[in-house]
Structure 1
């Protein structure tokens, strides 16, 4: 791996990408669990923070169906950045340290400029998705002030808007996949080697193209486990989110040489 100065001075050659097998995503989850078990309090603190903030957002959008759906779906877009502290915890654990919660927050000062640019990119993508959803829901008529759960259930069961539902899910899925492709190793690489955003995102894209099938399985696991967390009123994320955040670090270590 090139030193930090080489990444900034030349950006090329990019780091070598390893090939991984289909079983590796499950190994990443196992390693994520081990990191959680090794230092549970700070890890669970992150999970509790995600769960509480998520519940507050859901409560605030119960009468705005489009904002509720955007909040839930948008979580998948910004999750890679939200997990930065957990990535940092795994990085320090790998170095033989047992960081406190406050220690992991220092990751946002390390290479903060690149993380800020990456966060801005995710925010812009999230804003575009929110605007698209707002226009799409407006075409169905005003939903402001309507109970979001009743509105969404009636929308799904009525059978009158199957084209809308299919289009919304298809576009959301494509957008989420695009974000995943540029996010597989981006944040861990920024933390580990101080890589700038272009270098990290291009490396992430190369990792995906080199290991498309295993990483599609990894994406499916991320989505499935996160949805399980949502199904428990987000409190399942207290444990699930730390495991996934730590596992992302181990995915980076296996994929990037």
Structure 2
């Protein structure tokens, strides 16, 4: 049985086609579709928004005094976001199929391709842990091995008292975010929809970004803005912005990948 599953997955992998020459105006269409699916998903979609909000509030509450860790976990949110939105992808898929969106099936949507989605999620988690550790090292190095207070961080960033720290921190964090985005922007929706292997899904995602760097960079900026608005509103904005981002990401996948069935 496992052998037939491998053959089936390999056949799906071979039929993946990455579309070229995306137009920047498509970003508006993706956002609009994300808003529509959030509306159609109703409480099923908002459930995930509440989950993201509660998680953000808890992280802030538990690590409020450890600003290096708080900064690492908060910015690391971008790294594992693609996996956390799996249920939202499933809701969008059901809406596209004309089915009634439902919360319960979306909670276990990853089961049909459990191994590959779990492998990819493990990679994202490793990336988060690695970035968090690097965050600690950078803070400790540039603040003379004494972890700063929140006021110290804000003061140094806004006044450019330590421009090298600001440059290094955001450059390293940006590199982690860019690489993770490149291999995950459509990977989990593809695995969810087509039982594709983790490696093939990551490669397809990377090809999308390499062939359309401008449009995908614009999409990455939109995700940063959506999540940033959520953070700026004490995480309350995530109730809406995360479902919109998750649903829109499904439509990104549907726009840039063609799977011949």
- Classify the TM-score, shorter chain: over 0.9
The 5 A counterparts of 1:62-73 are 62-73=64-75
- Superposition deviation, residue 11 in structure 1: 6.9
Structure 2 CA distance, aligned partners of 1:121 and 1:198? 11
Structure 2 CA distance, aligned partners of 1:12 and 1:108? 18
Q: Does 1:149 align with 2:150?
A: yes
Secondary structure class of the residue paired with 2:112 = coil
CA contact (8 A) 2:40 2:101 kept: no
- Superposition deviation, residue 39 in structure 1: 2.1
Q: Specify the alignment match of 1:161 in structure 2.
A: 162
Q: Name which of 109, 114, 126 aligns with 1:107.
A: 109
Q: Specify the alignment match of 2:252 in structure 1.
A: 251
Q: Name which of 52, 55, 75 aligns with 1:53.
A: 55
- Superposition deviation, residue 92 in structure 1: 1.1
Structure 2 CA distance, aligned partners of 1:107 and 1:66? 35
Q: Specify the alignment match of 2:100 in structure 1.
A: 98
Q: Specify the alignment match of 1:8 in structure 2.
A: 9
Q: Does 1:233 align with 2:234?
A: yes
> Deviation per CA, 1:75-121, whole angstroms, max 9, x where unpaired?
01010111111001101111111232122011121211111100111
Q: Specify the alignment match of 2:120 in structure 1.
A: 118
Structure 2 CA distance, aligned partners of 1:54 and 1:126? 15
Structure 2 CA distance, aligned partners of 1:165 and 1:7? 48
CA contact (8 A) 2:13 2:196 kept: no
Structure 2 CA distance, aligned partners of 1:25 and 1:157? 31
- Superposition deviation, residue 14 in structure 1: 5.2
Q: 1:223 to 1:7 in 2, by over 3 A?
A: farther
Q: Specify the alignment match of 2:209 in structure 1.
A: 208
CA contact (8 A) 1:229 1:240 kept: yes
Q: 1:111 to 1:136 in 2, by over 3 A?
A: same
Structure 2 CA distance, aligned partners of 1:251 and 1:151? 40
> Deviation per CA, 1:28-81, whole angstroms, max 9, x where unpaired?
010011111112111011101100111110111110011110011100101011
Gap regions ≥5 residues in structure 2: none
Q: 1:11 to 1:40 in 2, by over 3 A?
A: closer
Q: Does 1:194 align with 2:191?
A: no
Q: 1:162 to 1:7 in 2, by over 3 A?
A: farther
Gap regions ≥5 residues in structure 1: none
Q: Does 1:221 align with 2:222?
A: yes
Q: CA RMSD in A?
A: 1.7
TM-score computed with the length of structure 2 as normaliser = 0.91
CA contact (8 A) 1:47 1:239 kept: yes
TM-score computed with the length of structure 1 as normaliser = 0.93
Q: Specify the alignment match of 1:132 in structure 2.
A: 134
- How many residues are treated as equivalent by the alignment? 252
Q: Name which of 68, 86, 96 aligns with 1:84.
A: 86
